[in-house]
Structure 1
Amino acid sequence: MQGWSKLTSLKLESDLINNSTVVYDVIVVGAGFAGMYMLHELRKTGLNVLVLEEATGVGGTWYWNRYPGARCDVESMEYSYSFSEELQQEWNWRHRFSTQPEILEYANHVADRFDLRRYIKFQTRVSSVRYDQNKQQWLLKSSMKEEFQSRFCVMATGTLSSVNEPKFNGIKDYQGDWYITGRWPHSGVDFSGKTVGIIGTGSSAVQAIPVIAKEAKHLTVFQRTANYSIPAKNRSLINSEVEGVKSRYSEIRTEARSNRAGIAFLKAGIDSALSVSETTRTQEYQRRWDEGGTGFTAAYSDIGTSDKANFTAAEFVRNKIRETVQNTETAELLAPTNTIGCKRLCADTDYYETYNRANVTLLDVNSDPIQGLVEEGIQTEKNIYAFDIIVFAIGFDAMTGALLSMNITGKDGCNLKEIWSEGPKSYLGLSMFGFPNMFTITGPGSPSVLSNMMTSIEQHVEWIRDCINYMELGGHSEIEAELAAEEYWTNQVEEIARNTLRYTCNSWYVGANIPGKKRIFMPYAGGIPPYREYCDEVAQNGYDGFKIS
């Protein structure tokens, strides 16, 4: 870190003002992997930091998403922190792709190992965030009417943390139990002997459906849009491969930072899918299918930009679905018709095989739309389906939902929800015009969800840490993204996305799963290396594009 030094906190931990309200140097909202690392790095500089967290524990999305089969789609050895060599060496991952309990166990280990909990206030939901221009401070209020003040505010609220709440007619009339995958009960759900309906076939559903089907008396899946899914080929890790990675962790992390998706193990093809023979192409697709994981679409360089190249990959997967699913009609319903990669690619364990079970039924809501819930279960245009349990796997208000739920008000009364009504705008996904001294970790306009989140989180946290360090050492009081810089970057994000196939379908990348949400591609699709380079240049040039005073 350039020019790093131990800083002097503006307020000692015991300083109290305004009726016992502590003024912190930095308040971080969220205690997931982003919030914990931000806390760790800022505490090292000597600043007084408080983290506000709605949950009763750390872990962020892995605290909330406890649904059956919940698992990461980035390999465990890379979905982890790189900042501590001791942590890397002492922690032993058990699976190629870790389960939610294993990831949450890791998050708790990190919190304990680095003594982070004492600086986290749990069960505190932030309901209001307002900037006081005169004091140059942020005022945060909780749903319990508590007040907190700080000079800097860092939003570590996550990209997939605000669940898409079910708004079906008649939901209060339904007499059975219902659950949301993104807010699963900690005690679990017993499906044995129960008739179950699940609405949705996105990433969460793809993981949950095979597990629920094995336990339930009968499972009915309500599908609107079929999704592409690649076998995860998950397995237990053996000691020799774990030790092999640990012995070259430094090299692997460096490779990850120079990889488009922030994943060293993901090897992207450099040839066009159309420049090789059909035999060669099929062999490469088969190799990646057998290897498992979401690196399938990285087989060729133009799968994400060329319709013809994309079709070859999509058709390979569709044929795999037809080979796997025994019922022809069901297989065709499960075979997506859109481009592969325009929606999040899923990684599964026996997802398509599950539809061969006698106790599983797939229903197409395009031909028989859901009207709402009734006392017995789900009513469609043509039928009523009775269920003991209904599961809503309808996704998240991705990237912006958590931020907009907090009623954030910046300079001159500008409200973030109003400003973003036509789509999110930011400078680098890190800062917004009109909101001084506020930073967002993996916000809209950054690679975030198109990358290994751990790689992107660490880059953002370190950039923010260095920026605050720069402010403190220079005696500056306020930093704010300039409007021109924000507009330039927002246009860059849009232009890059337009040159890909990502706009060709309705996905949560563009907010299509949230009624009324403006359709705009939210993450930066140019890849991690050029993004990191641009962020570094901004910092090296005295935070070009920011107004500092």
Structure 2
Amino acid sequence: MSTANNQPTALDAVVIGAGFSGLYMLYRLREAGLSVRVYDAADGVGGVWYWNRYPGARCDSESIYYNYTFSEELYKEWTWNSRYPEQPDILRYLNFVADKFDLRPNIQFKTRITSAEFDETASRWQLQTDGGETISAKYFITGVGCISTANIPNFKGLNSFKGKWYHTGHWPHEKVDFSGKRVGIIGTGSSGVQAIPVIAQEAAHLTVFQRTPQYSAPARNRPYTEEEILQAKANFSEMKQQVRASAGGTPVQTGDRSALQDSPEERQRVFEEAWALGGHAILTVYNDLLTDEEANETVSEFIRTKIHEIVQDPETAKKLTPYYLYGTKRAIIDTDYYETFNRSNVSLVDVRC
């Protein structure tokens, strides 16, 4: 807190957020000998993975790459369970990191920074917290991320709604029991695509309200074998170099030719292999799917056809079929998303109609 004579707490650096970036920034600044404190509104570390606890919440980057790489010792001490890590595992990982490097003494939880002004004369930031603390810092670093604030739409009647409602970005810590309930879910972005199949297994009936249909490829999530885990840890240095040299933080190999160079039959074979492999493989099998509209149409039409093959009701399949090009919105991966619409207790409402 501020000192007794109302002088502000003096720090070299203040960081907002105790997620992936905030914890790493704390580690680096402290290693550099700076006095630093992290502020977070939550009562624990994790950032977005602290708040996003909805059913089916899972990362769409592979576990072996979704790690800190500043410490080989850390990488080899931690073991992921599956190809794509679920929210509880990611939260356990971040707590493990905080404990391993003794980061908690420099984190102040349940606290928000309410104002930040730069004093040009003193060349320092003057900060205020919601608890009345005043802080003076040379460096002010925000690690809040791009999805830290939940968007709660101003739906007419929401305040008078007598049922229970939840937001995926601020999910309760305790399990929400949907058994025997009629549930509506609004939105089919990545969170909706993850939550819909899980909630549908429990709810008496699930109604999905969709504005824009989504392209989604199967994740093909599975447990790692012991051999895969040992190999990943043995190849740490090579993996780190590949990640640093990659375009998106994961060492994905892009095909060496245009989709238009292959015959329709060969293209179909390539796409089928990528679909069976799962994850984001289908977006990278050719080198021009994101740069050539005609090439993109080949993969877009492939996934549209898959939707109609999977979804049994033609009208529902039609509603679920995107009309834009694949990859122009975030490429989603899923577990049984389209298959869920074959369940008798699931219905789809297209809100554009």
Query: Normalising by the residue count of structure 1, what TM-score does the alignment of the two structures yield?
Result: 0.63
Deviation by residue 1:15-46 (Cα, 9 ceiling, x = unmatched): 95862522110111111010000000110111
Query: Where does 1:78-117 land on structure 2 (aligned, <5 Å)?
Result: 78-117=65-104
Q: What is the rounded CA distance, in whole Å, between the counterparts of 1:18 and 1:203 in structure 2?
A: 50
Residues 1:62 and 2:49 are matched in the alignment = yes
Deviation by residue 1:62-87 (Cα, 9 ceiling, x = unmatched): 00000000000000010011111111
Match of 2:237 in 1: 250
Q: What is the rounded CA distance, in whole Å, between the counterparts of 1:279 and 1:197 in structure 2?
A: 41
Match of 1:328 in 2: 314
1:300 to 278, 286, 306: 286
Q: Report if the CA contact (8 A) 1:16-1:23 is conserved.
A: no
Query: Where does 1:174-323 land on structure 2 (aligned, <5 Å)?
Result: 174-264=161-251, 266-323=252-309
Q: What is the rounded CA distance, in whole Å, between the counterparts of 1:296 and 1:16 in structure 2?
A: 58
Q: What is the rounded CA distance, in whole Å, between the counterparts of 1:186 and 1:15 in structure 2?
A: 32
Secondary structure in structure 2 of the residue aligned to 1:148:
strand
The Cα of 1:257 is off from its aligned counterpart by 1.1
Q: What is the rounded CA distance, in whole Å, between the counterparts of 1:35 and 1:195 in structure 2?
A: 39
Q: What is the rounded CA distance, in whole Å, between the counterparts of 2:8 and 2:2 in structure 1?
A: 9
Q: What is the rounded CA distance, in whole Å, between the counterparts of 1:228 and 1:305 in structure 2?
A: 18
Query: Where does 1:506-517 land on structure 2 (aligned, <5 Å)?
Result: none
CA RMSD of aligned residues (A): 1.4
Secondary structure in structure 2 of the residue aligned to 1:164:
coil
The Cα of 1:283 is off from its aligned counterpart by 1.4
Deviation by residue 1:159-181 (Cα, 9 ceiling, x = unmatched): 22121122111111110000000
Secondary structure in structure 2 of the residue aligned to 1:157:
coil
The Cα of 1:143 is off from its aligned counterpart by 2.4
Match of 1:167 in 2: 154
Match of 1:372 in 2: none
Query: Where does 1:84-163 land on structure 2 (aligned, <5 Å)?
Result: 84-163=71-150
Q: Report if the CA contact (8 A) 1:17-1:23 is conserved.
A: no
Q: What is the rounded CA distance, in whole Å, between the counterparts of 2:2 and 2:144 in structure 1?
A: 27
Secondary structure in structure 2 of the residue aligned to 1:244:
helix
Q: Report if the CA contact (8 A) 1:310-1:340 is conserved.
A: yes
Secondary structure in structure 1 of the residue aligned to 2:333:
strand
Q: What is the rounded CA distance, in whole Å, between the counterparts of 1:70 and 1:199 in structure 2?
A: 16
Deviation by residue 1:148-202 (Cα, 9 ceiling, x = unmatched): 2200111111122121122111111110000000110011211000000000000
Deviation by residue 1:485-513 (Cα, 9 ceiling, x = unmatched): xxxxxxxxxxxxxxxxxxxxxxxxxxxxx
The one-letter code sitting in structure 1 at the alignment partner of 2:97 is: V
Secondary structure in structure 1 of the residue aligned to 2:62:
coil
Match of 2:349 in 1: 363
Secondary structure in structure 2 of the residue aligned to 1:221:
strand
Match of 2:339 in 1: 353
Secondary structure in structure 2 of the residue aligned to 1:158:
coil
The Cα of 1:237 is off from its aligned counterpart by 0.9
Q: What is the rounded CA distance, in whole Å, between the counterparts of 2:327 and 2:64 in structure 1?
A: 24
Q: Report if the CA contact (8 A) 2:2-2:135 is conserved.
A: no
Q: What is the rounded CA distance, in whole Å, between the counterparts of 1:283 and 1:258 in structure 2?
A: 29
The one-letter code sitting in structure 2 at the alignment partner of 1:136 is: S
Report the count of equivalent residues.
353
TM superposition outliers: structure 1 runs of 4+ over 6 Å:
none
Match of 1:478 in 2: none
1:25 to 2, 12, 15: 12
Identity %: 49
The Cα of 1:270 is off from its aligned counterpart by 2.3
Query: Where does 1:512-531 land on structure 2 (aligned, <5 Å)?
Result: none
Query: Where does 1:436-475 land on structure 2 (aligned, <5 Å)?
Result: none
The Cα of 1:238 is off from its aligned counterpart by 1.1
Q: What is the rounded CA distance, in whole Å, between the counterparts of 1:67 and 1:213 in structure 2?
A: 13
Q: What is the rounded CA distance, in whole Å, between the counterparts of 2:245 and 2:261 in structure 1?
A: 26
Q: What is the rounded CA distance, in whole Å, between the counterparts of 1:207 and 1:293 in structure 2?
A: 14
Match of 2:34 in 1: 47
The Cα of 1:206 is off from its aligned counterpart by 0.2
The one-letter code sitting in structure 2 at the alignment partner of 1:152 is: Y
The one-letter code sitting in structure 2 at the alignment partner of 1:105 is: R
Query: Normalising by the residue count of structure 2, what TM-score does the alignment of the two structures yield?
Result: 0.98
1:339 to 307, 316, 325: 325
Deviation by residue 1:382-441 (Cα, 9 ceiling, x = unmatched): xxxxxxxxxxxxxxxxxxxxxxxxxxxxxxxxxxxxxxxxxxxxxxxxxxxxxxxxxxxx
Q: Report if the CA contact (8 A) 1:207-1:351 is conserved.
A: yes
Query: Where does 1:466-545 land on structure 2 (aligned, <5 Å)?
Result: none
Q: What is the rounded CA distance, in whole Å, between the counterparts of 2:40 and 2:199 in structure 1?
A: 31
Q: Report if the CA contact (8 A) 1:333-1:364 is conserved.
A: yes
Q: What is the rounded CA distance, in whole Å, between the counterparts of 2:127 and 2:5 in structure 1?
A: 14
Secondary structure in structure 2 of the residue aligned to 1:179:
coil
- Change over 3 Å in CA distance of 1:197–1:209 after alignment to 2: same
Q: What is the rounded CA distance, in whole Å, between the counterparts of 1:341 and 1:328 in structure 2?
A: 24
Match of 1:417 in 2: none
Q: What is the rounded CA distance, in whole Å, between the counterparts of 1:217 and 1:135 in structure 2?
A: 62
Q: Report if the CA contact (8 A) 1:16-1:22 is conserved.
A: yes
Q: Report if the CA contact (8 A) 2:2-2:134 is conserved.
A: no
Query: Which sits farther off after the overlay, 131-140 or 99-108?
Result: 131-140
